[in-house]
Structure 1
Amino acid sequence: MKKNIIFLFSFFLFVLVACDHDFMDTKPKTEITADDIWKESSLAEAYMFDIYFTFQDAGFTEELQASATDEALFTHGREFRETNAGAITDVNLGWFGKTQSGHQWARLYRNIRSCNDFIENIDNAEFDERYKVQLKGEAYFLRAYFFHRLTRAFGGIPLQLRVTQLTDDPESFLIPRSSYTDCIDHILSDLDEAADLLKDRTFANTQKGRATLAAVKALRVRVLTDAASDLHDEATATAKVPIFNSYPNKELLFYTKGSRAERWNAVKTAAKDLMDNPLGHAVPDFGGPGLSVEEKADAIWSFFLKDSPDHIFSRYFIDTKDESGTKMPLFNGPSGYHAWGGNTPIQDFVDAFAMEDGSKFDWNNPEHKAAPYKNREPRFYATVMYDGMQWIQRPSDYAVADPTGTIQTGYYQLDPASNDLYPGMDTRTGGGENWNATYTGYYLKKFINPAAGDHRNKINAVFPFIRLSEVYMNYIEACIELGELDEAKEYLNQMRESVGMPDVTTSDQTELRRIYQNERRLNFYFEEHRYWDVRRWMIAPSAPGLNSLTGIRVTAMLKSGVGKQERYAHDESRWNYTYDVVPVTQEGRKWENKCYFLPIHRDEINRNKNLIQNPGYGE
């Protein structure tokens, strides 16, 4: 049976200080030196686990990256306010300066140093060759992964490729930023090394959470997709962003190898390689055809609560460990269940879900406006909690007010003689933990499965860093950009069919691109894709949810002839419901073009005189 890497521990090295006394030259039995690591495979593996621990709580922290983009609002504010207002600077990186973001410069470089340590020393290790090969392959994969995280955030970065020592020339620490092209080429080179060393590592024979050949190939597709995108094409990006055009160090931002067609062909080739031989992985069918909308929605929701062959590289959590990944229901569940309602869907995202027949939802359509939560596509019901949605039984202290277990984010008339409105249990003024309640009128359903029916209990969970579905989507994107629309539609329609959506028929490249980008938005919600996608596509200035913030106001008035009600329970036979899109003022969202890249913190610039700042930051 495969073992899961559920919990990783910090591995500390203790180095003896030499002295003249013999007893001081004796190593205590509880002490481990750096040299010991390479003598025992168990110690080397523990060191590798420490590198994996950089993923820590993965994407399941209390503060989710979704709230740094047009997917969600973080109810409790914090550094998201600066990030979403475009107010980040070289001394305040907003949310991305925090540990929970997973993109801290110093933290990633510490782990790159550990990867370099492995690469430099593992060949001379004294244990079995098969362990050495796997560990070295993982080190190359992880170094590529960390370098890629840095390039996504900063563009070209210093390529630290060896372990520096305090005895080194001080100038050797002052590594300048390499060009974006050189960084991508080096990442691809590391992945080549990893692919060779991990060629026998598959989903079936590798501990969960560790790198496999499929993970290496999938990361290659992601890296190539980034490099081929608009943000890293000089002609496209400089035409759209004036500060890029005037930036004197364009080599730090743009990919210069090959034509755009050649770049997209590289994406297509790399993706097809894994699609044709998925190495034990498979894209989901969510129950296959013939299911009702409700059945399909339940299959989609259930899929994200457990492991599957679609997961290529993931982080696993078990409820016996006190990690953030085990607390998604508590962090994000409705306030009327003693949960914190932390990262809540915004209206712009909710509106992105289509109708059941595939048509666009439209507030200008009277039927849509009168019943916005009816006849929507299955992914909507699998992803979003909305007013009137049947959920689980409330805790006993809250069940007195609402024994039905139905989400209450609206305001309801109980007495026909009064226009006073009763605030729902899950509102900011309701009977639940209202200080934790949603501002947008919605809660997250994806990834939420309360253990034993209580959001306060810890859960088993899996966060997918890379899925095979992403590889398919990148292939589709490459086909669209190459003008191979029939092939793009063939695969896109396969993906849409799996979630119960009708085929796309358009032959217009621009429209197909728009449909694809929306599909990607809905398929990877809360999986840390959207932040990077809106940047590499350069659609941020025109994305409503990045430039404004709205939610929903649900009002229910008693129908004529209906008498006074003792308590509220969602019932369209007794209440008339109205739905109004309202501004949410907790954040002043505004896109600034400098935010296509993060700034390098001023402390790093001061430490390394050779670092060049990104455009729009500093002097």
Structure 2
Amino acid sequence: MKKIDKILIGSLALALSASFSACQKDFLDRKPLTEISELDVWTDPNLTKAFVARIYEEMDHGFAEVMISSLTDESRFIHDYNTSRVLQGNISPDEHGAAWNFADWGKFYRVIRNTNMYLENIEQVPFSDENDRNQLTGEVHFMRGYNYFALLRMYGGVPLITETFDLNDDEAIQAVTRNTYEETVNFIVAECDKAIELTNEETPRGVVNKSAARALKSRVLLYAASDLYNKPGNSNALVGYTSGSQADRWRAAKDAAYDIIETNLYSLYDKSEDPSENYANIFLDKTSEETIFAKLFDKELLGTSHDLYNGPNGYNNWGGNVPLQNMVDVYQMEDGTNFSWSNPTHKAAPYENRDPRFAATILYNGAPWKQRGDNGIGLDPVGVIQTAQYEYWNGSSVEVRWGLDTRNSPIESWNGTFSGYYLRKFMDITLDAQFIRGDQDWIYFRYGEILLNYAEACIELGEEGEAKKYLKMVRERAGMPGSTVDNASGQALEDLYRYERRVELAYEGHRFFDARRWMTAEEDFSKPAQGIIIYGELQPDHETLIYSYTVDNIQDRDFPEKMYFMPIPIGERRKNEQIDQNPHY
């Protein structure tokens, strides 16, 4: 009898212990976990559920050490980990650099193989309630669609494999070819529709339901309607449409987003009078009515190390994915006007009176933060971010100190920011991240994105009045004036929409794909990464500091045309030459 691989066995054991503890003892009395076979899985509903739990476990999420934002103009990963290869446009079929973390062809297909295995065997599982079988099957259709979408957004059209075969079966492997972009999109949409049909509308947190499937469908169709995949005269069906109407595709994207809006099941998070607090708590409040589908973390199990990976070095954290000045400068002033270093008022106090989402997303010099650890509280009893160099009066003369969160920190220096900033978004201010893991949810889909998806489709269809209605909802929740939306039209409205999407969804994994599908990446991602140099000059009263700010280039970057799609891995093409390579590789 064929045995399930050791990784899967271990995951089944973990899933059973975490999710099915009530029945674990009876199962363990019958057979050791190391002897689980495929037959066992399909004869025991609890093992089948554990098998699906493993598929959930393998879903990528944004709390990895290297965030996808650090392959964009949002942030820089200070430890590199081969991110620079991607940022300088040097990837190739045999070297994806850090992009491989998000384009792992083999990993996605391994998960897809497990979904296929489930769908081939589910009918023989003796469920006592058919609703359980339908719900679980709907979840698996969603997962298969999600993993194909993860491939699609990186590579374009990919081979659509819907049955299991032995990975050593050379004949089967040689028969595999890439499906077109259109065929891949249609397949994912069909998987979403099947999930919508089979799942319940109400499920426990973190379990796929109809709205999660609708949200995936909305994102897929939004991407599919975008310019990158609808180039006039395109003759390569693997990387875009070669026929049909782009307007029809925008209508499909609009309808898919509205399918969620009209359920009235979700709303924008708005529990506080402080819009910055509202925005921060979207990602911390597990009762958020904005969350559609999320990955859950438990401190008692694995938890998440997001705060440790990205917190300031002066708090004994690792620095990690530090926001760039490129992103900081994007945030508007609170009156809706653009920030400018040429404006003397802005330059004198660049972090004041900004879009409220700024303070909830970025830790900047002087930002209030948590209490320092034992090795820092004596130097900073208040708990504010220090990324500047500044003068102080020692009683007889002026001396110069480096802030506790700089690369010259007296606490830790190896993990200081290059840019002058740290990430605030997703962070739990109550957590001592040096020692304790977090339990924040990673939100895959939220209502704010759906409203933006709908507004974008309306703008592209020329339905500006409808677009403004939903764009204002997102902007006004953030404490920004809706009048700027009312007064915009044409290109100005599109620019304002793209501003809202970039700021509202910052660091959530969207920018990498949005700049590509809008075909602005060649310009946006070829600009040098920038940081800030801050110096505090002591005034004659020996107490007051006046800060000066100098924008500094900290990393050269380049985005050649080939980078709009990832190259098919050379290993896959060595196994099967029928898999065509993407353009320019």
TM-score calculated relative to the size of structure 1: 0.86
Given candidates 377, 381, 390, the residue that maps to 1:403 is 381
Q: Is 2:489 the counterpart of 1:508?
A: yes
Query: Following TM superposition, by how much is the alpha carbon of 1:69 offset from its aligned partner in structure 2, in angstroms?
Result: 0.8
Conserved 8 A contact 1:332-1:444: yes
Q: What do the CA deviations read for 1:55-81 (whole angstroms, capped 9, x no partner)?
A: 26x210111111111111101112111
Amino acid corresponding to residue 576 of structure 1 in structure 2: I
Cα distance, 1:452–1:79 mapped onto 2, change above 3 Å = closer
Mapped partners of 1:96, 1:187: distance in 2: 23
TM-score calculated relative to the size of structure 2: 0.91
Identity across the alignment (%)? 37
Conserved 8 A contact 2:159-2:176: yes
Given candidates 344, 347, 350, the residue that maps to 2:322 is 344
Mapped partners of 1:582, 1:158: distance in 2: 45
Query: Following TM superposition, by how much is the alpha carbon of 1:493 offset from its aligned partner in structure 2, in angstroms?
Result: 0.8
Mapped partners of 2:73, 2:523: distance in 1: 11
Amino acid corresponding to residue 166 of structure 2 in structure 1: Q
Conserved 8 A contact 2:331-2:355: yes
**Aligned residue in 2 for 1:147:** 148
What pairs up with 1:421-432 in 2 under 5 angstroms? Answer: 421-432=400-411
- Equivalent position SS for 1:583: strand
Q: What do the CA deviations read for 1:4-61 (whole angstroms, capped 9, x no partner)?
A: xxxx96238xxxxxxxxxxxxxx966522212212111010011111111126x2101
Cα distance, 1:463–1:251 mapped onto 2, change above 3 Å = same
Conserved 8 A contact 1:329-1:450: no
Given candidates 535, 546, 550, the residue that maps to 1:580 is 550
**Aligned residue in 2 for 1:11:** 12
Given candidates 529, 538, 563, the residue that maps to 2:510 is 529
Conserved 8 A contact 1:39-1:127: no
Conserved 8 A contact 2:236-2:242: no
Two-structure CA RMSD over aligned residues (Å)? 2.1
Query: Following TM superposition, by how much is the alpha carbon of 1:134 offset from its aligned partner in structure 2, in angstroms?
Result: 1.4
What pairs up with 1:60-71 in 2 under 5 angstroms? Answer: 60-71=63-74
| Paired residue total | 556
**Aligned residue in 2 for 1:19:** none
Given candidates 386, 392, 410, the residue that maps to 2:370 is 392
What pairs up with 1:212-611 in 2 under 5 angstroms? Answer: 212-235=209-232, 250-256=236-242, 258-278=244-264, 280-285=265-270, 287=272, 291=273, 295-307=274-286, 308-323=288-303, 325=304, 327-415=305-393, 421-453=400-432, 455-503=434-482, 504-543=485-524, 546-559=526-539, 561-563=540-542, 574-584=544-554, 587-611=555-579
Mapped partners of 1:180, 1:353: distance in 2: 35
Mapped partners of 1:443, 1:286: distance in 2: 26
Query: Following TM superposition, by how much is the alpha carbon of 1:250 offset from its aligned partner in structure 2, in angstroms?
Result: 0.6
- Equivalent position SS for 1:251: coil
Mapped partners of 1:93, 1:346: distance in 2: 23
Amino acid corresponding to residue 88 of structure 2 in structure 1: A
Query: Following TM superposition, by how much is the alpha carbon of 1:165 offset from its aligned partner in structure 2, in angstroms?
Result: 3.5
**Aligned residue in 2 for 1:55:** 59
- Equivalent position SS for 1:581: strand
Conserved 8 A contact 1:79-1:94: yes
Q: Is 2:56 the counterpart of 1:86?
A: no
Conserved 8 A contact 1:268-1:479: yes
Query: Following TM superposition, by how much is the alpha carbon of 1:255 offset from its aligned partner in structure 2, in angstroms?
Result: 2.2
Mapped partners of 2:81, 2:427: distance in 1: 23
Q: Is 2:100 the counterpart of 1:97?
A: yes
Mapped partners of 1:419, 1:286: distance in 2: 47
Conserved 8 A contact 1:553-1:581: yes
Cα distance, 1:168–1:393 mapped onto 2, change above 3 Å = closer
- Equivalent position SS for 1:140: helix
Conserved 8 A contact 2:361-2:423: yes
Instruction: Give the stretch that moved more between structures: 125-134 or 599-608.
Output: 125-134
Mapped partners of 1:281, 1:173: distance in 2: 46
Q: What do the CA deviations read for 1:564-583 (whole angstroms, capped 9, x no partner)?
A: xxxxxxxxx61111111111
Conserved 8 A contact 1:300-1:382: yes
Query: Following TM superposition, by how much is the alpha carbon of 1:508 offset from its aligned partner in structure 2, in angstroms?
Result: 2.8
Conserved 8 A contact 1:271-1:471: yes
Instruction: Name stretches of at least 5 consecutive residues in structure 1 with no aligned partner.
Output: 1-7, 13-26, 239-244, 564-572
Instruction: Give the stretch that moved more between structures: 110-119 or 503-512.
Output: 503-512
Conserved 8 A contact 1:181-1:257: no
Query: Following TM superposition, by how much is the alpha carbon of 1:121 offset from its aligned partner in structure 2, in angstroms?
Result: 1.4
**Aligned residue in 2 for 1:72:** 75
Query: Following TM superposition, by how much is the alpha carbon of 1:356 offset from its aligned partner in structure 2, in angstroms?
Result: 1.1
Mapped partners of 1:455, 1:514: distance in 2: 40
- Equivalent position SS for 2:296: strand
Conserved 8 A contact 1:286-1:296: no
- Equivalent position SS for 1:115: helix
Mapped partners of 1:233, 1:529: distance in 2: 20
Query: Following TM superposition, by how much is the alpha carbon of 1:542 offset from its aligned partner in structure 2, in angstroms?
Result: 2.2
Mapped partners of 2:459, 2:367: distance in 1: 37
Conserved 8 A contact 2:270-2:278: no
Query: Following TM superposition, by how much is the alpha carbon of 1:115 offset from its aligned partner in structure 2, in angstroms?
Result: 0.8
Instruction: Name stretches of at least 5 consecutive residues in structure 2 with no aligned partner.
Output: 1-8, 14-29
Query: Following TM superposition, by how much is the alpha carbon of 1:167 offset from its aligned partner in structure 2, in angstroms?
Result: 8.8
Query: Following TM superposition, by how much is the alpha carbon of 1:90 offset from its aligned partner in structure 2, in angstroms?
Result: 0.6
- Equivalent position SS for 1:471: helix
Mapped partners of 1:460, 1:192: distance in 2: 31
Mapped partners of 1:156, 1:505: distance in 2: 39
Query: Following TM superposition, by how much is the alpha carbon of 1:456 offset from its aligned partner in structure 2, in angstroms?
Result: 3.4
Mapped partners of 1:596, 1:36: distance in 2: 44
**Aligned residue in 2 for 1:123:** 123
Query: Following TM superposition, by how much is the alpha carbon of 1:139 offset from its aligned partner in structure 2, in angstroms?
Result: 1.4
Instruction: Give the stretch that moved more between structures: 129-138 or 467-476.
Output: 129-138
